[in-house]
């Protein structure tokens, strides 16, 4: 009934207008091979992730998480803008090369947050990316408990906060 508006500037039209999409700062190589942090030259492990135990092998972001990106992500995650999943997947696919993987997956949200949002943003993004990259999407994790929100926790407490909150999906 209501016209779609840009999640960033509120101009009527597409979920993310061309101007706002163009102003999102892409993270281009060289980047850390492990955590994706941009740097002056490519490295296997940068200052940010060297010596840290991380729960992943590799990570890669597509854009700088500045005020503009925060507004778009907040609209998508907290304001129910499901129409942004495809737009954001296209942006990721533009910046991040198709990975050599067997499947694309996601970390599931907790039940309370899913009820509040009425969708799981990470799952929707994973499905959109899987389709763009022509890779199957799969659910490998399930929530086995609830954990306090990560948003305001310091980095040191985030890992402890989710310890035991996930289990592998039986196949």
pLDDT per residue, tens digit, the chain (171 aa), is 678 899 999 999 999 999 999 999 999 999 999 999 999 998 999 988 888 888 788 899 999 999 999 999 999 988 888 999 999 999 999 999 999 999 999 988 877 777 777 788 999 999 999 999 999 999 999 988 777 777 778 877 887 888 888 899 987
In this prediction the pTM is 0.85
Question: 99, 102, 91, 110: which is closest to 18 by C-alpha?
Answer: 91
Q: What are the residues whose beta carbons fall under 8 Å from the beta carbon of 49, sequence distance 6 or more? A: 32, 34, 35, 37
Question: 128, 125, 122, 124: which is closest to 109 by C-alpha?
Answer: 122
In angstroms and rounded to an integer, the radius of gyration of the C-alpha atoms of the chain is: 17
Distances 59 to 23, 32, 99 between C-alpha atoms, Å: 23, 9, 11
Please give the Cα distance from 26 to 96 (Å, whole number): 10
Element (H or E) spanning 142, and its range? strand 141-143
Q: What is the pLDDT of residue 118?
A: 78
Please give the Cα distance from 125 to 55 (Å, whole number): 20
Please give the Cα distance from 16 to 134 (Å, whole number): 24
Element (H or E) spanning 143, and its range? strand 141-143
Buried (b) or exposed (e) across 16-51, using 16+ Cβ within 10 A? bbeebbeebeebeeebbebbbbeeeeebeebeebee
Q: What is the pLDDT of residue 26?
A: 97
Q: What is the pLDDT of residue 61?
A: 92
């Amino acid at each position: 009934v209501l016209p779609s508006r840009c999640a960033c500037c509120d101009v009527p039209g597409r979920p993310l207008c061309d101007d706002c999409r163009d102003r999102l700062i892409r993270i281009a190589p060289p980047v850390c091979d492990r955590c994706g942090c941009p740097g002056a030259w490519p490295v296997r492990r940068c200052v940010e992730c060297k010596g840290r135990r991380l729960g992943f092998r590799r990570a890669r972001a597509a854009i700088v998480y500045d005020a503009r990106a925060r507004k778009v992500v907040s609209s998508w995650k907290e304001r129910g803008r499901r129409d942004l999943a495809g737009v954001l997947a296209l942006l990721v696919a533009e910046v991040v090369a198709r990975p050599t993987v067997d499947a694309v997956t996601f970390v599931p949200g907790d039940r309370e947050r899913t009820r509040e949002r009425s969708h799981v943003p990470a799952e929707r993004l994973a499905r959109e990316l899987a389709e763009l990259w022509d890779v199957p999407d799969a659910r490998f994790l399930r929530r086995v408990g609830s954990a306090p929100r990560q948003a305001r926790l310091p980095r040191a407490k985030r890992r402890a906060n989710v310890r035991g909150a996930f289990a592998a999906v039986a196949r």
